[in-house]
């Protein structure tokens, strides 16, 4: 057991829990406050919150692990899509969704296409986000088992449940404000670690040479072109199709704040990938990849090698912070889907706010237990699992959403065909593995696009009312 690291981690987790409890009262004062923090977050808090929600365990451990295991161009491909997430989302959907006045992605689908599309979309959100818990739980288990000196399985269970409890208690208020701290910790931690690595090797050029000496394929494109393209697509679309990131956008005070938050969060994310490059090179230069039981552990090894126990403790706290904030945002998306979009919408319209919030709590617990159970035996590298989630959501939601905003003629039948067709095609490709790793959306997303267009054109157009609503998504940039 690493005593100093454990103490710092414990102080951190207790601090976060206190913040969670402090915001509980505020969160439970109204349903809107619980889900979107009363829409009153300013642009700096919003930028860190958006950044922390995106900079998941995968951005840190996964990207570094994949950069060392599969060559640094793989990490660059990860950032190639990931740094573009926020600009791409802003360009195509965020202003329009905000103007539509809805609070969740499935609500938008209901407004635009009707009830059946909403129900299908909730199902996809719940499946996607529940699987997305797996890489988060895997990462927390790896850190926990190293720091606490306990079994990986025990660490997954303890940390997973702790994180759930805290998310469930505070809703978006707690998540947004603790994200401010977590976002800062990730950024400073990565900066300090990168600086230490550079200092020890005497600059970037010497560091890369050391990495190449220990791992000759470090600079190579080791995977088929399709893998890099697929990874790029899956991450590029993540902001558009990920319900948790979109929900963050609604928590900003107004449209201007939302845009500025996204712009600054993009810069923070860019920096993380630049630091990640240095950290991955430091990891490769250690030459220990083949000795690790799990290749995602390389990041932990870099921290251990280059940092003192105090700094390492802070860094592990930053990593766990990243995991917690991402997992929390996902849990919130899952519980919003089931409690608000299904229970209140179709099962009990008269349900009180308290009942809806309580059901959300139970849903969170169930989803995290499923995530924990799968994470006990993780099926792939963290970066690949996250790529699958992005690819699945892109293949099902991407085009029905974008066409729903930009094309008046898109209708319910087209959206349903696009969503189900894309999702099913994606799952077939993941199971049968006919192509390179994470290349599934290259086929499944165009299938969804074609189905949405062809089926929409083959069936009757949406009503005049819906068509004029589509126009209103694009009217008056300030009126939100």
The single residue among 273, 361, 388, 399 that binds other proteins, judged by CB under 8 A, is: 273
The one among 350, 464, 465, 476 contacting other proteins by CB under 8 A? 476
Distance (Å, whole) CA 74 – CA 65: 10
Q: Which of 266, 297, 317, 334 binds other proteins (CB under 8 A)?
A: 266
Look at the chain and count its residues.
Answer: 480
Which residue lies nearer to other proteins by CB, 358 or 469? 469
Q: How far is the CB of 108 from other proteins (least distance, A)?
A: 17
Cβ atoms of 54 and 87 closer than 8 Å = no
**Binder of other proteins out of 256, 287, 377, 428 (CB under 8 A):** 256
Query: What region, left, alpha or beta, does residue 30 occupy, with left being phi > 0 and alpha being psi -120 to 50 degrees?
Result: beta
Contact window for other proteins (CB under 8 A) among 18-26, 253-261, 332-340, 457-465: 253-261
For the chain, report the end-to-end CA distance as a whole number of angstroms.
52
**CB of 461 vs other proteins, minimal distance in Å:** 14
**Which of residues 161, 221, 292, 430 is near other proteins by CB under 8 A?**
221
Distance CA 57, CA 319 (A): 7
Residues 162, 365: Cα–Cα separation, whole Å: 10
273: which DSSP letter? H
Position 441 contacts other proteins (CB under 8 A): no
* Geometric angle at alpha carbon 136, from 132 and 137, rounded to 5°: 110
Q: What are phi and psi of 41, to 5 degrees?
A: -85, 135
Binding of other proteins by 305 (CB under 8 A) = no
Task: Decide: is 460 part of the binding site for other proteins (CB under 8 A).
Answer: no
Token pair of 77 as six digits: 């491909």
**Binding track over 36-75 against other proteins, x by CB under 8 A:** -----------------------------------xxx--
Measure the CA–CA gap between 118 and 110, rounded to whole angstroms.
5
For CA atoms 6, 11, 14, 20, the dihedral sign is negative
Query: How far apart are CB 161 and other proteins at their closest, in Å?
Result: 36
Q: How far is the CB of 262 from other proteins (least distance, A)?
A: 7
Report the distance separating Cα 146 and Cα 140, nearest Å. 10
Q: By CB under 8 A, tell whether 95 contacts other proteins.
A: yes
151 φ/ψ sector (left φ>0, alpha ψ -120 to 50, else beta): beta
Q: How far is the CB of 400 from other proteins (least distance, A)?
A: 17
Q: Which is nearer to other proteins, 95 or 141 (CB)?
A: 95
Binding string, 181-220, against other proteins, x = CB under 8 A?
Answer: ------------------------x--xx--x-----xxx
State residue 50 phi and psi, 5-degree precision: -65, -45
- The single residue listed with the structure tokens 């430091």 is 282
Q: Shortest approach of other proteins to residue 408 CB, angstroms?
A: 7
The span of 12-20, 188-196, 271-279, 370-378 binding other proteins (CB under 8 A) equals 271-279
CB nearer other proteins, residue 75 or residue 385: 75
From residue 146, give the alpha-carbon distance in Å to each of 295, 300, 458. 14, 8, 57
Residues 6 or more apart from 63 whose CB is under 8 A from it?
75, 78, 79, 273, 276, 280, 383
CB of 228 to other proteins, least distance (A): 8
Of the residues 22, 406, 427, 435, which one makes contact with other proteins according to CB under 8 A: 406
Which of 431, 427, 352 is closest to 391 using CA atoms?
427
Tokens of 214: 């220990």
Indicate the residue among 91 and 346 with the shorter CB distance to other proteins: 91
**DSSP H or E run through 75:** helix 72-82
| 112 three-state secondary structure | helix
Q: Which of 229, 343, 392, 397 binds other proteins (CB under 8 A)?
A: 229
270 scored as a contact of other proteins (CB under 8 A): yes
Q: Which of 3, 14, 18, 267 binds other proteins (CB under 8 A)?
A: 267
CB 133 within 8 A of CB 327: yes
**Of 414, 204, 300, residue with least CA distance to 2:** 300
Nearest approach, Cβ of residue 83 and other proteins (Å): 5
- Looking at the Cβ atoms of 71 and 318, the one nearer to other proteins is 71
Site for other proteins (CB under 8 A): how many residues?
Answer: 48
CB of 376 to other proteins, least distance (A): 34
Residues engaged in binding other proteins (CB under 8 A): 71-73, 76-77, 79-80, 83-84, 86-88, 90-92, 95, 205, 208-209, 212, 218-221, 225, 228-229, 232, 236, 256, 259-260, 262-263, 266-267, 270, 273-274, 277, 406, 408, 471, 474-478
């Amino acid at each position: 057991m690493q005593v100093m690291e454990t103490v710092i981690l414990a102080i951190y987790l207790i601090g976060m829990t206190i913040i969670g409890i402090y915001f509980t009262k505020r969160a439970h004062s109204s349903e809107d406050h619980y889900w979107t923090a009363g829409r009153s977050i300013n642009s700096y808090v919003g930028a860190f919150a958006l950044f922390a929600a995106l900079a998941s365990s995968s951005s840190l451990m996964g990207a570094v692990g994949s950069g060392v295991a599969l060559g640094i161009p793989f990490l660059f491909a990860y950032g190639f899509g990931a740094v573009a997430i926020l600009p791409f989302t802003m360009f195509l959907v965020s202003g329009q969704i905000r103007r539509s006045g809805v609070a969740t992605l499935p609500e938008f689908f209901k407004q635009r296409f009707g009830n059946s599309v909403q129900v299908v979309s909730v199902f996809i959100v719940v499946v996607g986000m529940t699987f997305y818990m797996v890489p988060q739980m895997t990462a927390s288990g790896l850190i926990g088992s190293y720091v606490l000196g306990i079994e990986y399985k025990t660490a997954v269970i303890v940390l997973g449940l702790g994180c759930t409890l805290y998310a469930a208690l505070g809703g978006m208020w707690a998540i947004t404000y603790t994200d401010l701290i977590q976002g800062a910790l990730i950024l400073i931690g990565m900066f300090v670690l990168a600086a230490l690595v550079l200092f020890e090797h005497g600059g970037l050029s010497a560091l890369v040479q050391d990495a190449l000496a220990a791992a000759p394929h470090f600079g190579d494109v080791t995977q088929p072109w399709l893998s890099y393209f697929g990874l790029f697509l899956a991450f590029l679309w993540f902001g558009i199709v990920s319900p948790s990131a979109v929900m963050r956008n609604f928590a900003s005070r107004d449209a201007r704040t939302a845009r500025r938050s996204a712009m600054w969060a993009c810069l923070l994310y860019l920096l993380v990938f630049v630091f990640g490059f240095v950290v991955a090179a430091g990891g490769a230069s250690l030459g220990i990849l083949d000795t690790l039981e799990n290749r995602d552990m390389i990041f932990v090894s870099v921290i251990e090698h280059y940092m003192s126990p105090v700094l390492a403790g802070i860094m592990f706290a930053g990593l766990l912070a990243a995991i917690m904030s991402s997992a929390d945002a996902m849990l919130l998306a899952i519980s919003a889907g089931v409690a608000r979009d299904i229970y209140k919408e179709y099962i009990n319209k008269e349900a009180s706010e308290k009942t809806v919030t309580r059901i959300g709590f139970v849903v969170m617990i169930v989803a995290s237990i499923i995530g924990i159970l799968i994470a006990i035996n993780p099926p792939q590298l963290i970066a690949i699992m996250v790529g699958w989630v992005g690819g699945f959501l892109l293949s099902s939601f991407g085009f029905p959403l974008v066409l729903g905003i930009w094309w008046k003629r898109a209708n319910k039948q087209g959206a349903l065909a696009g969503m189900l067709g894309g999702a099913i095609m994606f799952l077939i490709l993941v199971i049968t593995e006919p192509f390179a790793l994470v290349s599934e959306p290259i086929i499944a997303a165009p299938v969804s696009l074609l189905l949405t267009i062809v089926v929409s054109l083959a069936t009757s157009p949406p009503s005049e009312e819906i068509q004029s609503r589509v126009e209103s998504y694009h009217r008056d940039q300030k009126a939100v």
